[in-house]
Structure 1
Amino acid sequence: MQPTKPYRSEDLHYLKMLARQYPNVQAASTEIVNLQAIRNLPKGTEHFISDVHGEYEAFLHILNSASGVVREKVDDLFSTTVSKAERDQLATLIYYPREKLEAIEAETQDMREWYRITFHRLIEVCRLVSSKYTRSKVRKAMPPEYAYIIDEMLHTHYEDSDKRDYYENIISTIIDIDRASSFLIQLCELIKRLAVDHLHLVGDIFDRGPRADIILDSLMDYHSVDIQWGNHDILWMGAASGSRTLVATVLANSLRYNNLEVIETGYGISLRPLSVFANEVYRDCDVHCFEVKLTGEDASHYTEKDKLLAARMHKAITIILFKLEGQKLLRNPSFGMADRLLLDKIDYEGKCITLQGVTYPLEDTDFPTVDRADPYALTGEEAALIDQLTASFRHSEKLQRHIRFLYSKGSLYKVFNGNLLLHGCIPMTEQGAQMEFSIGCEALSGKAFLDYADLTARRAYYSKQGTAEREFGMDFLWFLWAGRNSPIFGRERMTTFERRLILDESTWTEPKNPYYRFYNDPSVCDALLKEFGLEGEHCHIINGHIPVKSKKGESPIKGGGKLLVIDGGFCKAYQKTTGIAGYTLIYNSACFRLVSHEPFSGRANAIRENQDIASSSAVFERLESRMKIAGTDIGRQLQEQIDDLMALLWAYRSGAIVEDHKE
C-alpha cells in the first residue's frame, strides 16, 4: 500500500506533532500494520442491560454470566466430555470464584487434583473467549502479577510433549507455592473480562430495589461501559446536585416502597431529622393514605409503631414535595404544567378536589403545615428540614462519586455501532410529528432537543453554586423526571397526588406519549434513526423504560425489528405485570440475540446449588457476514489514524518531515 499525498500543506503542523510519537518510517509503518490487523478482527461482543432498579444480586449475576455467554462457551467446549453437573459447577466458579472456591474446598478431599483439572478447563475457556482479540489487548487485560504465566499457558500447544511438560510444570508450581486460589480467581475474572467487550446500561439504575450503590460500584470497576440516563437516574442526579424538590422525591419514593437501605447504609444519609419532625408535626394526623408498602420478610420485621412512624415520615416529606413542585411550576411557566398545581384546588370543607371539571372526594385533607392562603409556602420547620436533608445528599462522598461517574459515562442518548440507545422516547405529537419544546430554548425537537436537554442537565451539576444556570438546570432535571412528555418520562402527567389522596383509580392514569404507539411503524423508526445519522438494515433503536408485558403476549421487538424494548421486569416490583425478570441483548460479530430471564433465586442459592438464572435466548437478526472491527465506530476511528499515518509516511518520504533515528 503505497502512500499518496493525502494531506494539505496546512496539515504539516499536525503531522509534525504526530512525528513525535512515530519518529521514523519504521515506527509509522509498524503502527499501520498493527491498526490494519486490528480492523480485520471480529467485532467484540456488546451487552445491553436496562432498568435494573437497584436489584444488585440479579444484576451482578447477569453481568458475571454475560447473559449466558459464559455458560455457552463452557458448553461449546465441554458438552461431550464433561458432565452437566461439572459444567454447572465450572460456570458458577467463573461467576463467583471466591465464594464458590470456598465451598468447594470445604467438600473436596484432593484439592491438588481438582486444581489441576480445573486449571486446564479454565485455560481452555479463556483461550476461546480471547480468540477474537489481539494478543496485545488480551495481555493488557490480564492481572499484572500473572500476565506472563497466563500468556504462556494460552499460547502453549499441548500436543507437543515438551510443551505439555512445561505447561504441567507451571500448574504444579502454582499449586506447590500456595498460589492456586489466587491464580484461579484472577483467571475467572479475566474470562468474564474477555467475554464482553463493551457494556451498555440503558437507564434506571436507581429506585425500587435495595442497593443501587452496589450496582454503581461494579459499573465503576467495569472495563468498558456507557450509560443512558433513565428518569430514576436523573432523579438522583438532581438530588445530588442540590435540588430540594428531587431530594424530597427520592425520600418519598424510598419511604413508599420501604427502600431506605440504599440511603442510610449505602450513602450514609441519616433520616433522623425527618423522623423527629414527622413524629412531632404529624403525631395526631390521619396517615392511612401514606402507609408504607411492606412485603415478605419486611412485613414481619416491622412493629405497628414502626409502621406508624414510616407513614408519618412519608406524609411529611410528600407534603413538602407537593409544595416544592408547586413552587417549581410557578417559577417555570414554560413547562406548560399549570394544571398540575393542585394544593390550591383543594376544597377543605367539602374534602374534595375538582380536576378537569370533575369533582373527586379526597381520602385525606389533614395537612397541618399547609397554609390555605399560600399553600405552596414551606413552614420554617419544613424549610430547615429539607435544607438539612439536601445538605446530607450534597455531602455524601460516595453518592457524589457515583453521580460524577453517571455524568462522565452517561448521556441522554448514545449512537454506537449503528444503534441508537435511549432510555425513554423521542417525544411525538398525536399526528406523528416530533414534539417541539420551548423550555429555555427556541422550539427544539428530536435530536436537537435531546442535545439541549443533555447540556442543561450537566449545568445542574457543574455550574457554579447559586448561579442562574445551575438553578435552571436543577429545575430542568425535575422536568426531565416528571415533566409533561419529557424524553425520559414520556408521559402526560405523573399522578403522585392522585394516587396518594384520591380513591378513584381513573385519576391515576399516566397516558404515554404517542411515540409508544408510533414506534410500531417501521417507517417511523427509520425516520428517527436517520435523524441521528443511522441508515441501513442493521440499525436499531434500543429502548428501556416501559416494561414489556410478556405474559400478555407483548413482544419486545417493535417496528418490524427496527426497535427493541429491553425492559422486561428486572425489578421484582414489576415481575407480576411482565411475567418475566427482564430482557438483555447480546450483539456479537454474527448476530443480535435477545435473552429473556426468569426471576433470580438469589446469590447464595446460585453459589450453593450451582443454579443459573433460567433464560431463553433467541437470535432475531443475523448479519450477512461476520462483522469485523473495520465496520464499527472504533474501526472507523482506526482508519482515520491509519490515514494520518499514511500522510506521515508521505511527509517522511517526500522530505517534508525529517526522520529521527535516535536509539
Structure 2
Amino acid sequence: MEKKYYQLLKEKFPKKEQVLTELINLEAIVQLPKGTEHFVSDLHGEFDAFDHVLRNGSGSVKEKVKECFQAMPKVPITDLCTLIYYPEEKLALQKASLKPQALIAYYKENIPYLLQVTNYAGRKYTRSKVRKALPPQFAYIIEELLTEVDTKKDKIDYFTTIVNRIIELNQAPALITALCKTIQRLVVDHLHVVGDIYDRGPKPDQIMERLSNLPSVDIQWGNHDIVWLAAVAGSPVAAMNLLRISSRYGNLDILEERYGINLRPLATYAQKYYEPTPAFNLKAEDMHTFSEAEQILFNQIQQATAILQFKLEGQLILRRPEFLLDKRNVLTFIDYSSQTITLDDVVYPLVDFNGPTVDEKQPLTLTKEEETLIARLLSSIQESEKLKRHMDFMLASGSMYLCYNDNLLFHGCIPLHENGDLKSLRINGHNYAGKALLDFYEEQVRKSYLDPSCHDDFATDMLWYLWTGESSSLFGKEAMTTFERYYIADKKTHIEKKNPYYRLRNDETICQELLAEFDLPHHGHIINGHTPVKEKKGEDPIKANSKLIVIDGGYAKSYQKTTGIAGYTLLSNSYGMQLAAHQPFTSVADAVKNGTDIISVKRLVDEVIHRTKVKTTNTGVKICHEMADLSYLYQNFDKI
C-alpha cells in the first residue's frame, strides 16, 4: 500500500526537479506567519449583522487599512473601508450622486488605494495563494497592477494607461468590486462558526449560502442546528419542533417560500382544531410586519405543532428508556378532568391547555389524520433540494467539537458533575464521557443522516436527545421546560437548571483538565457559544484566567435586551487573540451612506511572545507530513 501511495505521488510530480521545487515551496510556506482565524457563534438567522461582521473581519479590515496608510494621513480611511465592505452598494451611491468627471476621479483615486491594501493584506501569504484569491476575470490585470502600484517614475505611464483603459471600458466598478472582495478574503484566512446558525432570525438560509461560498470554514453544530439536521435525517419530533419554533418567531416563510416546503396542510389542520391563546403569541421583533390574520395563524400552528411534538416526544421516551427522560413525558402526567398536571409530586393547574386531539386514556396516540399530516410534512422537509443542500454542507463542514491550533471549540458544554468529574451517558452497557461522549454523539449524527428513511431508529432518536437530554453537550441543562412555559403559571417550573459546567468553567484548573481530556496543551483555550453573555449585568466573556472565551453575546435581536450588546467575535492571528464586542447593526443602507460600523471594543485575550508561524498550526502539521513524503520520494525517486 505504501509503495502504491508513492507511485501515485510520483504521477503528480513526474520529474525529480518538480519534487524538489514543491519541497522548497512547502518549506518556505511553513515559515510564514499564521493566517487570521475568525470565530463567530449563535448567528440565529441574523444575516445582515453576520454579513457585516464577515465583510469587515470584526475590525480586521479597518486595522489593515490604517496600518497600510499610517504614513498617509490624508487617505479617507472610513470611506475607503466602507467601499471595501460594500463595494456594489457604495459604487451605486457614488454613481447616483457624482457627475461623470467626479466619478472618474473617484475611480482613479480609489483603485490605487485598493491595490495598496491588497498588497498589504497579502504580504504574509505566498504569491500563489494571493493569485488564487483573485477573481479569474481580473487575475492577470490585478497581478500587473499589484506589481506596479508602487512603481517609480519610469513605469508610471504603464500603470496609468492600464487604469485609464479599465475606466474607459466601464470596467472600473467590476475591478473595484473584485479588489474589495479579494481584500476581505485575504484579511481573514479561516472562519469558525461555533454553532447555532438556525432559528429566531429571518435569514438562516442566506447565512448558509454565504458560508458555503467561503474558501475556508468549519462549523461546530449547535443545539438549534441539530434539530434541522435531525428533521432532514428523518426525525418527526424534530420536524414538529422546527415548525413550532419557526411559527413562534414568525419565520414560516423561511420554510415555505425559501425552502419550498408545503405548509398548507398544517395550516388547515391548525385552524380546524385550535383557537389563539396568549401563551402562543408571536415572539417576533417586528410585530407590525404581520397582519392580525397572520398572527392568529402563527398562534394556531404553534399550538398544533406543540401538541404533536409532545405526543411524538412521549413515544420516543417510551422506546428509549436508556435516555432517562421519563420525567418529560408530560402528556401522561395530566389529569384531564381537573386540568392539572403533577410534576415531581407537585400538582399545578394548567392555563389554557388545549389538546383537542389528545385521547385522555392514550394521550401519546396520534390520530390517523395526524399520522398522515406528519408524514406529509416530514416528506416535504426531506424533499427540499435547497434545505438538503444546506444540511449536506452543515454535515460535511461540521462536527460536535473541533481541536484546531491548540484550541478546543464546541457550542455548549462538556457535561460535568458538581465536583468537576466528567458526567457520563450509559448506553448498551457502555459509559461515554468527555471526548468519548462527543465522539459517540457525532457518530450517531452521521449514522442517522446517512439513512433518512429510518424515522425511529436509535441514531435518529439520539439527535432528539441532543436537543433536550440532560447529558447532551449541546443542551447542557437538566430539563427543557417547553410545556411548563406554555401551560403553567408558576414560574418556578420554567427554570432550566444548567449543568455544573457553566459554573465550573470559571475555574482555570477545570479548563486545563478539559483541554487535557482532548489531548490539547495547557496554553490552549476553550471557545464556547450557546449562552448569551449578560454584559449589562457585568458578566465577563473571558473566563478562567483567559483559558475560556464565550463568544455568544447575542446576535439574535430577542437576546439584546438582556445582553446589552449584539454579539462577541474572536480573532486569532500570529500575534495572539482579541475579543471584539459589537453594537446592534442598523442597516446596510446606513453603513453605506454614513460609514457606520458596529464594533465597539476590542480586548486582548492572549499575546504570544514569538509570532506564530504556519508550521505550528493544524495546516502546518499537514504540510510537514507532505514534506516528509516528498523528501522520501525525492531520495528514492529512481527506485519507485
TM-score normalised to structure 2 length: 0.97
| 2:461 aligned partner, one-letter code | D
1: CA distance between counterparts of 2:284 and 2:151?
Answer: 61
Q: Secondary structure at the match of 1:48?
A: strand
Give deviations 1:108-163, integer Å, cap 9, x for gaps: 12211110100011011111110010001111111111111111122226342122
CA shift, 1:317, in A, is: 1.2
Whether the 8 Å CA contact 2:551–2:568 is kept in 1: the answer is yes
CA shift, 1:441, in A, is: 6.4
Q: 1:544 to 1:467 in 2, by over 3 A?
A: closer
Q: Secondary structure at the match of 2:520?
A: coil
Q: Who is 1:547 aligned against?
A: 532
Identity, % of aligned positions: 45
Q: 2:78 aligns with which of 68, 76, 88?
A: 88
Q: Please say if 1:56 is aligned against 2:60.
A: no
Q: Secondary structure at the match of 1:561?
A: coil
Q: Please say if 1:293 is aligned against 2:293.
A: no
Question: Does 615-624 or 20-29 show the bigger shift?
Answer: 20-29
Question: Does 612-621 or 397-406 show the bigger shift?
Answer: 612-621
Q: Secondary structure at the match of 1:437?
A: strand
Q: Who is 1:622 aligned against?
A: 607
Q: Please say if 1:562 is aligned against 2:547.
A: yes
Q: 1:266 aligns with which of 232, 255, 258?
A: 258
1: CA distance between counterparts of 2:312 and 2:363?
Answer: 10
2: CA distance between counterparts of 1:117 and 1:286?
Answer: 60
Whether the 8 Å CA contact 2:358–2:364 is kept in 1: the answer is yes
Q: How does 1:212-231 map to 2 (within 5 A)?
A: 212-231=204-223
Q: Who is 1:19 aligned against?
A: 10
Q: Secondary structure at the match of 1:47?
A: strand
Q: Please say if 1:517 is aligned against 2:503.
A: yes
| 1:191 aligned partner, one-letter code | I
2: CA distance between counterparts of 1:261 and 1:57?
Answer: 17
Q: Who is 2:352 aligned against?
A: 364
Runs of 4+ in 1 over 4 A off after TM superposition: 10-13
Q: Who is 1:493 aligned against?
A: 479
Q: Who is 1:462 aligned against?
A: 450
CA shift, 1:638, in A, is: 1.1
| 2:125 aligned partner, one-letter code | Y
| 2:92 aligned partner, one-letter code | E
Q: Please say if 1:656 is aligned against 2:636.
A: no
Q: 2:434 aligns with which of 414, 436, 446?
A: 446
Whether the 8 Å CA contact 1:49–1:201 is kept in 2: the answer is yes
Q: 1:512 to 1:89 in 2, by over 3 A?
A: same
Give deviations 1:318-368, integer Å, cap 9, x for gaps: 111110110110110010010111111112232211111211111023321
CA shift, 1:179, in A, is: 0.9
| 1:35 aligned partner, one-letter code | L
Q: Secondary structure at the match of 1:438?
A: strand
CA shift, 1:89, in A, is: 2.0
Q: Please say if 1:422 is aligned against 2:413.
A: no
| 1:656 aligned partner, one-letter code | K
CA shift, 1:199, in A, is: 0.3
Q: How does 1:204-219 map to 2 (within 5 A)?
A: 204-219=196-211
Give deviations 1:498-547, integer Å, cap 9, x for gaps: 0000011110011111111111111111111112121132x111110011
Q: 1:157 to 1:181 in 2, by over 3 A?
A: closer
Whether the 8 Å CA contact 1:351–1:364 is kept in 2: the answer is no
CA shift, 1:606, in A, is: 1.2
| 1:597 aligned partner, one-letter code | H
Q: 1:100 aligns with which of 72, 83, 90?
A: 90
Question: Does 551-560 or 154-163 show the bigger shift?
Answer: 154-163
Q: Please say if 1:586 is aligned against 2:586.
A: no
Q: Who is 1:661 aligned against?
A: none
Unaligned regions of 5+ residues in structure 2, if any?
none
Q: Who is 2:519 aligned against?
A: 533
Q: Please say if 1:432 is aligned against 2:423.
A: no
Whether the 8 Å CA contact 1:158–1:167 is kept in 2: the answer is no
CA shift, 1:13, in A, is: 4.4
Q: Who is 1:247 aligned against?
A: 239
Give deviations 1:481-509, integer Å, cap 9, x for gaps: 11123111111110000000001111001
Q: 1:608 to 1:381 in 2, by over 3 A?
A: same
| 2:536 aligned partner, one-letter code | K
1: CA distance between counterparts of 2:122 and 2:137?
Answer: 19
1: CA distance between counterparts of 2:189 and 2:88?
Answer: 23
Q: Who is 1:647 aligned against?
A: 632
Question: What is the RMSD computed on CA atoms of the aligned residues?
Answer: 1.7
Q: 1:11 to 1:248 in 2, by over 3 A?
A: closer
Q: 1:604 aligns with which of 589, 594, 608?
A: 589
Whether the 8 Å CA contact 2:285–2:558 is kept in 1: the answer is no
CA shift, 1:82, in A, is: 5.0
| 2:5 aligned partner, one-letter code | Y
Q: Who is 2:168 aligned against?
A: 176
1: CA distance between counterparts of 2:323 and 2:541?
Answer: 32
CA shift, 1:286, in A, is: 6.4
